[in-house]
Every structure is written in C-alpha cells, then in structure tokens.
Structure 1
Amino acid sequence: MKILRKFLFPFAVIYGWITGFRNFLYDNNYLKSSEYSIPIICVGNLSVGGTGKSPMIEYLIETLQEDYKIAVLSRGYKRKTSGYLEVLQTHTAEQTGDEPLQFKNKFPHVTVAVCADRRTGIEQLQKKAEVLLLDDAFQHRKVKADTNIVLTPYHDLFINDFMLPTGNLREPRKGIKRADIIVVTKCPDTVPYAKLQKIEYVMPLQNHQKIYFSSIGYDDTIIGKKESLPLDYLSNKKFTLVTGIANPQPLLDFLKNNNFQFSHKKFSDHHSFSTSEIETLKKEELILTTEKDFMRLKTKLDKFAFYYLPITTKIKNDQGPFFKEAILQRVAFKRKS
C-alpha cells in the first residue's frame, strides 16, 4: 500500500494545487464565505482519519452547556437520508450517521442536526441555539467560523504528512494558518514535557494561534443496552473487541496495559456491518466496542452481553482551565459584537 501511494505522488501534487488554489480564492475574497450572527466553533483537521473530533465536540458541549444553548451540525457521514434532519434519540445510525446519533444520545438536551449543505443547516439552527458547533467543517470554506479548532494526533502530526493520495492531508499544510486553536490529540499519558515543548517549537504557529495538548481518557464503566457495569467486570474474562474506527490503537493499548484478555475484530472506519458479519458477532460470548460502533450496531446486534467503553478528551499539563477560558472568551466576544 505504501509503495502504491508513492507511485501516486503526481496526483498528490495536482490535488494539492487544486485545494491550494481554492483556498487562495477564499482567502482573497474571490469566493465568498457566509458569516452569521451566532457564534460558530468549527472542529476539524487537515488530514483524513481519526484525530479525535467527536470527543472534542463533546468536550466543548460540556464546557459551554451551563451558559449557552448549544447546537451541533454534522454532515452525517454515510447516512442513508438526505437534506436537513434534526437528530432524535429514536433515529438509527443509518438515518443520521453514527457520530451525530452519539452526540444526541449523550446530550439529549442539545439540538443535533445533519445537513451536507452547512449553510442550510446553520440557517435552521441559528433560530434554536446560542452557540453552534460545526463537526468536521474546516475545509467547508463556504462558511466562516468564528473559532477554528484544528486537531492533529501526537503520533501522526500534520507537519510530517503529505497530500492525498500519497499521504493523508486534505489540503496543503499551510492551511493551518486559518486555525485559531491547534490541539495535539491522543498524547500518551506519560509523555515527557520536553517532548511536548519540542512539538510546539516545530509547529508553524502564527501570533494569533494557541496550541494545547490532549489525551484520551477512558471511563471506569462499560455501558450496554439495558445495564451499566464497572469496567473491572471484564477482568478475568475473555471478550471480543469490535472496532470500526480509523485508529483503534489507543484503545488496544489501554486494554493491554490493564491486562484485559481479548481478541480483536477490526473493521474500517464507519464500517457498515453486513448481515453475515452480524451473524458472526452474535456467536461471540462477550463483546466490547467503541461508542461510535455501538451506535451502528445496537439496532442490528440483538445480544445482551454487548457493551461500549466511553472516552473523553483530557487537556494535559493543567492547560484545561486555560483552554476552557479561551473558548468562553471567544464566544462572549462574538455575542457582544
């Protein structure tokens, strides 16, 4: 696969030129971005794959929900519906996409909607919310967000990547200049502070930009369709881990480091499980999965011993209060202007 990607280098150069030229048109107002009175926070990345956008959206909801009425807008990746749709807890992942359904189930009081045309979605939601979170919309230049948060994983920094299809970048690296906040995600719990300082040093930060570091936190409870159990319930039991996410390695590391005994069935990101795959999973005695996969599987897999392990974003090195304050200040400033 890596050799094939190297052969595709000319296409990566062409793709980089096209996306770079598109950005030039927006940056110089040849193409217009729509602006709105409601504060808009966009969470995105420069690369494809799992950078931790969903946990960051949830972190922002928890940061803002006590002071503001929140709405979340996503395109609803791989959903089988079209147009604007407000997500209900009774919807399925096929109707809404797995991540929007996850947001709605975890935060029932938050308005969550899916719409491929973000401008149409914003026009609907700005009547119902005081702050709008855009999920995975950094390259959606038709909308101008007030705050752009760009995520890049610790083990796969965008500064070391290249354009698709040779690398994983959606746009040239210089697109990071549009970010207001950069978060290096999925940092190890025990990473030396000097290593984080080195990353900050080599990161092409602009004067207006702030950088933060985060890691993944795992809950001490596993959640099923009808019950919740302490994570320790899995101790001394053999179970099957089912993942359909871009990068399951942090979860694998966590389970191995805690001496859990399991086998791993790995599927592609946002995988649509076939009937035969579901039948195979039904034969497994005990299944643990991710929250996102649970949203896709819960209506298909009629099995009692089926749980997911929630995750959270943790801002590292006592940066959490500063990150939250930066978000609250930016929202308050927009609402006053």
Structure 2
Amino acid sequence: MNLLRKILFPFAILYGWITSIRNFLFDTGILKSQAFSLPVIAVGNLSVGGTGKTPQIEYLIRLLSDKYNVATLSRGYKRKSKGFVLGDSNATSEILGDEPFQFFQKFPQIKVAVDANRVNGIEQLLSQSQKPDIILLDDAFQHRKVRAGFYIMLTAFDDLFYKDFMLPTGNLREVRSGVNRADVIVVTKCPTNISSDKQEEIKSKIRSYLEKDIPVFFSYIDYEEYVYSENEKISLKEFQVVDKIVVSGIAKPEPFFAYLQAVKKSAMVFPDHHNFYEKDIKEILETANGRKIVTTEKDFVRLKGKLPISQLYYLPIKSSFVTSSNEFDKKILEYVGASTRNS
C-alpha cells in the first residue's frame, strides 16, 4: 500500500460508511429495487477491476445459450454512445464498449445490450419482439436498483476481498459484509495446482464474514491452444517461439505476459480499458519493428483496424473450475429452470 493510500485512510472510512448506509436503505426497502419476472443473473465483485468478470460471463453464455435466449446487459464502460444500445450490424467497441463488443462478436446467438440505467436496459430488452429468457448483468453487484434473482460474486486469488480495504486506501467498493448478497462466491484466477488445504483455508476465512451458508468455488484462467488473427490461427506452441511483442490494456496483465513468456523489453503495458490513440499505435509499430503483435481478446477489439492484419493476433482465455464445475452448473441451471417461462 503506497503512502498516499495510507494518508487517505480517513476517506476510506467515510466511503465505507456512506456505502453501508446506502445498502441499509436498499435492504430495508426505503430505497426501492425492481425485480423482473425472468431470471436475472448478476456477476460482480466487491472490489474494482481485475477479478475476471468477462470470462465468467462467457462461461454462463456457453452454459445457457444452447437452451435459452440469452441477453447480456453491461454499462458499456468508456463507450462513446449514450443511453440504451442494442448490438447490431453497426456495432463497434466505441459504441458498445470493449467487453460487450467482444460478447457481440464471439456469441452471435445472443443479444448484447448496454445501458448505465440497468432498469431501463432490462425494460428495453423485454420490449424487443424476441424477448430474452435470461439476462446476464455484467458488473452489477453494487447496482441495487435492480434486484437480480441470482448473484455471483467474484474475488481474485491474489487480491481476496477479506485482505482488502475500502477505497481509496484499498480497492473495495463496499464493506466486506456485502458478500452476503451473493448466492455463490467464485475465487478466480487461482493457480491450476491450488491445493485442497489452501482452498479450505480461503473458504474458512470467507465464511467468517458470512451470515448464511454460501457455496465457494475456485476457478482459474484457461488459455486456448491457438492464437488468432482476423483471418488465420496459429498453434500457441508454434507461436511461443515466434519473435513477437505482447501488448495489454487490461487490469493485472502479469499472468498474460508470463503465459506468453514475454520478456520485459517486448511487453507493452497500457491502462485498463485504454483507448489506443494514434501516438500509441505509432509506438506499438515502432516497438514491433515488423514483428508479430499479440494481445488479449479485449484489446484486440480496440486494436483491430488500427494495426496491420498480418501482424495483429490475440490469445483467447476462458474461465475453468478447479473442481466442482458440475455443482456450479447445477446451481445455475436449477435457478434458471425454476425461474424461466421455459421451465
């Protein structure tokens, strides 16, 4: 924790107090939450950034979209559009935001919408001629104006919520007791070889904050076996030995760099959700000096069209469970099956 964050500790106490009052007002019904008749699953966290919400949403899409009409609803962080927008043939990352645009390109069978006002966003989706059966709310754990039917709370293995502090001293958006709104908790970005003892240790510490029995699962980031460009794919094994640079504009990119064995001189780091401007593109091309450029899937949707097709590649990731994936799937499917009109 740096010195400035320590100095700002009194503001962290104040922020925690304000968010606790807000949650109390929603919990007691003084401030109103709106529920909907279809299943709504909210994925979020207690902290800012870097817990793996995007791969978790994609996991749910894969689990549900074969049987149900699925829609995702996001705020559309850093998009240049306003209000409710439904992804269509004119969609870009600037219109939808990078993560929703990634969903839109990757899963053509679903509806992808953005709206900072989640109540309005859901109402707009339900006004469509083909209504969704399920809505997945991206980054909506603190969005109390909607009362989702099922809450998935994520906490990253290397930044567990019970070790963190309130903003601005730490990264928590609300006090730790907010975990009790969750229906399941997923510890994300775990080592693939995390031991049973370590899992039990983390579960025990999480349970010390729980007022009810909430199941805890452990997941890790799984990388695909190929890297992709706009028009080809290359096996990762073959790509590992290619002379390349690695570019990232995501929170906590270190595991991505490590997986691609990127040395410091060939790794370019930009801020999370960075909009790549002309000067950035020039810097990337100069650093690459004709070499291939590999990036994350999120960054690819923002870099596509700005860098040469022959140079730009991305490595997709997905969320996989260390154990108990069937139990997690069962909880989701039981909730959806009991709540959807197709049950």
Please give the range of the TM-score, normalised by the shorter of the 2 chains.
over 0.9
CA distance in 2, matches of 1:185, 1:103: 20
CA distance in 1, matches of 2:241, 2:22: 55
CA distance in 1, matches of 2:240, 2:79: 36
Tell me whether 1:178 sits opposite 2:181 in the alignment.
yes
Is the contact made by 2:251 and 2:272 (CA closer than 8 Å) also made in structure 1? yes
Question: 2:266 is paired with a residue of what secondary structure?
Answer: strand
- Following superposition, the deviation at residue 131 of structure 1 comes to 0.4
Is the contact made by 2:43 and 2:140 (CA closer than 8 Å) also made in structure 1? yes
2:239 to 224, 234, 238: 234
Match of 2:169 in 1: 166
CA distance in 1, matches of 2:11, 2:247: 34
Moved more, 105-114 or 245-254: 245-254
Against the structure 1 CA distance between its residues 173 and 261, is the aligned structure 2 distance closer, same or farther, given a 3 Å change threshold? closer
2:330 to 319, 325, 328: 325
Tell me whether 1:190 sits opposite 2:229 in the alignment.
no
CA distance in 2, matches of 1:85, 1:206: 38
CA distance in 2, matches of 1:296, 1:89: 17
Match of 1:77 in 2: 77
Q: How does 1:237-316 map to 2 (within 5 A)?
A: 237-256=242-261, 263-283=266-286, 284=288, 285-316=291-322
- Following superposition, the deviation at residue 260 of structure 1 comes to 8.4
Q: How does 1:212-223 map to 2 (within 5 A)?
A: 212-223=217-228
CA distance in 2, matches of 1:308, 1:236: 16
- Following superposition, the deviation at residue 262 of structure 1 comes to 7.3
- The Cα offsets for residues 14-68 of structure 1, whole Å up to 9 and x where unpaired, read as 1111111000000011001001001000000000011000000000001111211
AA partner of residue 212 (structure 2): N
CA distance in 1, matches of 2:112, 2:177: 31
Is the contact made by 1:239 and 1:262 (CA closer than 8 Å) also made in structure 2? no
Count of paired positions: 334
Against the structure 1 CA distance between its residues 89 and 297, is the aligned structure 2 distance closer, same or farther, given a 3 Å change threshold? farther
- The Cα offsets for residues 202-256 of structure 1, whole Å up to 9 and x where unpaired, read as 1133434111000000000111111111112323222111000001122123223
Long gaps (5+) in structure 1: none
CA distance in 1, matches of 2:140, 2:78: 16
AA partner of residue 129 (structure 1): P
Q: How does 1:91-240 map to 2 (within 5 A)?
A: 91-127=91-127, 128-203=131-206, 204-240=209-245
Is the contact made by 1:188 and 1:215 (CA closer than 8 Å) also made in structure 2? yes
- Following superposition, the deviation at residue 272 of structure 1 comes to 1.2
Is the contact made by 2:38 and 2:340 (CA closer than 8 Å) also made in structure 1? yes
Against the structure 1 CA distance between its residues 89 and 58, is the aligned structure 2 distance closer, same or farther, given a 3 Å change threshold? farther
- Following superposition, the deviation at residue 94 of structure 1 comes to 1.2
Is the contact made by 2:104 and 2:112 (CA closer than 8 Å) also made in structure 1? yes
Moved more, 228-237 or 79-88: 228-237
CA distance in 2, matches of 1:155, 1:261: 21
Moved more, 275-284 or 172-181: 275-284
Against the structure 1 CA distance between its residues 253 and 302, is the aligned structure 2 distance closer, same or farther, given a 3 Å change threshold? closer
Against the structure 1 CA distance between its residues 49 and 141, is the aligned structure 2 distance closer, same or farther, given a 3 Å change threshold? same
Against the structure 1 CA distance between its residues 307 and 46, is the aligned structure 2 distance closer, same or farther, given a 3 Å change threshold? same
AA partner of residue 277 (structure 2): S
Is the contact made by 2:33 and 2:147 (CA closer than 8 Å) also made in structure 1? yes
Structure 1 segments, 4+ long, off by >6 Å, are 259-262
- Following superposition, the deviation at residue 334 of structure 1 comes to 1.7
Q: How does 1:25-40 map to 2 (within 5 A)?
A: 25-40=25-40
Q: How does 1:4-23 map to 2 (within 5 A)?
A: 4-23=4-23
Against the structure 1 CA distance between its residues 220 and 90, is the aligned structure 2 distance closer, same or farther, given a 3 Å change threshold? farther
Q: TM-score, normalised by structure 2?
A: 0.94
Is the contact made by 2:247 and 2:295 (CA closer than 8 Å) also made in structure 1? yes
- The Cα offsets for residues 162-189 of structure 1, whole Å up to 9 and x where unpaired, read as 1000000001111111111100000001
AA partner of residue 32 (structure 2): K
CA distance in 2, matches of 1:261, 1:109: 40
AA partner of residue 279 (structure 2): S
